[in-house]
Structure 1
């Protein structure tokens, strides 16, 4: 069985173009003969009218012109007839080839697309690629409706994410607040993120709010906003630095300035990142923020903000009021997570949870605090 490749298909198209060029050249040659013959006939008549006896008039200019003129017209007429016949033959031949080899050509196209992404990137629009992926997924799982919904979720979380984090470490320290008046109600929580990425956004925003609806809008995948929700029953104003404060943001070894602003409902921190060439590769980013956790709540939730590959959460207690820490895994990764709990032995409890592979926004980890 003959096998077609993308190169063979391109060769067929190029052959068709060359044949059309050949027809144009034939028509131009015939037209040139007609014009040359007409010119010679006119010259012969002109010389005859002058009644001059020269070497030129002795030449058979009229006969040559008549031959060229007739050959040109005959060529155009024959080319027109033969072209129609050849077009009919080519159409019949093309239909036969398409009928006999369409499955082979289809398989060749699919194999070319499967071998690498260069062909797909060159010929397919994003909408076409989405449809190809959705159809392929439907064939694999045997459920078109489920495939459509699964791919919609994947596209919202991964494709529209734009920024992908690698080797993320989240360090969380839970301690007593610096103000003794708050010690009976709150814990101070210091969270530090360290990760590698190729930055897509040139700005990062940190927003703390007590409005659940506002928080849900801020945590949509693909944005450049890190949101923190503060329970309004805590009695802490979400607009105050007591509730939330970004204390550090570093790109590489460079500490960046942090701007703070407040509104009637929330406060926002903004960091402007330096422009970089995406070809420069990964850069290390870290940031730290401080907030409070209500003691009666006895749990802290941290979510994944961007598609992240390989992530580790470390929780450390630095308060005599805490007897132990435990975690609830909300990381829907394909590989199992690992939980490492450090023995207390009279010291401060700590626990670590880590996973390999990709996790996506809206996943996260809950740290449960057990008081003495």
Structure 2
């Protein structure tokens, strides 16, 4: 698949947690069975599934890359391993933090790609979460319209806000104050500018 047919997607997660594992792994795989196996290792491993039919190789850093991982603002070294069906990034949270059972602020930034023709992006929570704020900035894209649907198990209702149209930026934000259960998620569905219907002439207007 050509690069012009793909979106570059940057994902930043920041959250406070009490780590239960001293090592975190971020894996991108093309084998479905391997993906399901990795999903049983949450929260120690976060897995991305990139099937071969997309024409994008799950094993290449150009397709998926962990750019940064920090604990309480301190960056941690990242190790990468590669195999035929995918790749894995490994970082250390710290045995001392796990043994102490104390809460820390974790931040990690990933870069991946997605086909424009897929018309949707789904994000899912791997663990119970309280107080979610999710932002999607699609300013520098050829997306004409973006909608949001949720698959949320929570007593609270998500609040969805957008930057007013008169401003240059295009961004949608989802906020939820209560608890969300694992596997809760949000789907962003888009229409490209080339797919948007042509504007209709107003009634009573005359052709030039």
Q: Deviation per CA, 1:198-217: give whole Å up to 9, x if none.
A: 11110000010122332222
Match of 1:269 among 89, 106, 109: 89
Give 1:135-174 correspondences, 5 Å limit: none
Deviation at 1:280, TM superposition (A): 6.4
Distance, in Å, in 1 between the alignment partners of 2:92 and 2:34 is 23
Rg: which structure is higher?
1
> Could you say what secondary structure the match of 2:4 adopts?
coil
Deviation at 1:306, TM superposition (A): 1.4
Quickly say closer, same or farther: Cα 1:273–1:251, change in 2 above 3 A.
Answer: same
Find out whether 1:220 has 2:40 as its counterpart.
yes
Aligned residue pairs total 192
Quickly say closer, same or farther: Cα 1:299–1:355, change in 2 above 3 A.
Answer: same
More strand by share: 2
Quickly say closer, same or farther: Cα 1:188–1:217, change in 2 above 3 A.
Answer: same
Deviation at 1:346, TM superposition (A): 5.7
Match of 2:163 among 326, 342, 358: 342
Quickly say closer, same or farther: Cα 1:243–1:320, change in 2 above 3 A.
Answer: closer
Q: Deviation per CA, 1:95-154: give whole Å up to 9, x if none.
A: xxxxxxxxxxxxxxxxxxxxxxxxxxxxxxxxxxxxxxxxxxxxxxxxxxxxxxxxxxxx
Give 1:84-103 correspondences, 5 Å limit: none
Q: Deviation per CA, 1:172-230: give whole Å up to 9, x if none.
A: xxxxxxxxx94431000000000001111100000101223322222237441101111
Q: TM-score, normalised by structure 1?
A: 0.49
The answer on whether the counterparts of 1:325 and 1:350 sit within 8 Å (CA) in structure 2 is: no
Distance, in Å, in 2 between the alignment partners of 1:280 and 1:357 is 24
Give 1:1-372 correspondences, 5 Å limit: 182-220=2-40, 222-274=42-94, 275-276=96-97, 281-345=102-166, 347-372=168-193
The answer on whether the counterparts of 1:236 and 1:242 sit within 8 Å (CA) in structure 2 is: no
Distance, in Å, in 2 between the alignment partners of 1:338 and 1:370 is 22
Quickly say closer, same or farther: Cα 1:279–1:271, change in 2 above 3 A.
Answer: closer
The answer on whether the counterparts of 2:22 and 2:98 sit within 8 Å (CA) in structure 1 is: no
More helix by share: 1
Distance, in Å, in 2 between the alignment partners of 1:283 and 1:339 is 28
Unpaired segments of 5 or more residues in structure 2? 194-208
Unpaired segments of 5 or more residues in structure 1? 1-180
Q: Deviation per CA, 1:272-331: give whole Å up to 9, x if none.
A: 112226656321110000000101001111110111111121101032411232211112
Deviation at 1:361, TM superposition (A): 2.0
> Could you say what secondary structure the match of 1:249 adopts?
strand
Distance, in Å, in 2 between the alignment partners of 1:200 and 1:277 is 6
> Could you say what secondary structure the match of 1:296 adopts?
helix
Distance, in Å, in 1 between the alignment partners of 2:167 and 2:161 is 18
Distance, in Å, in 2 between the alignment partners of 1:326 and 1:263 is 36
> Could you say what secondary structure the match of 1:318 adopts?
coil
Distance, in Å, in 1 between the alignment partners of 2:129 and 2:108 is 16
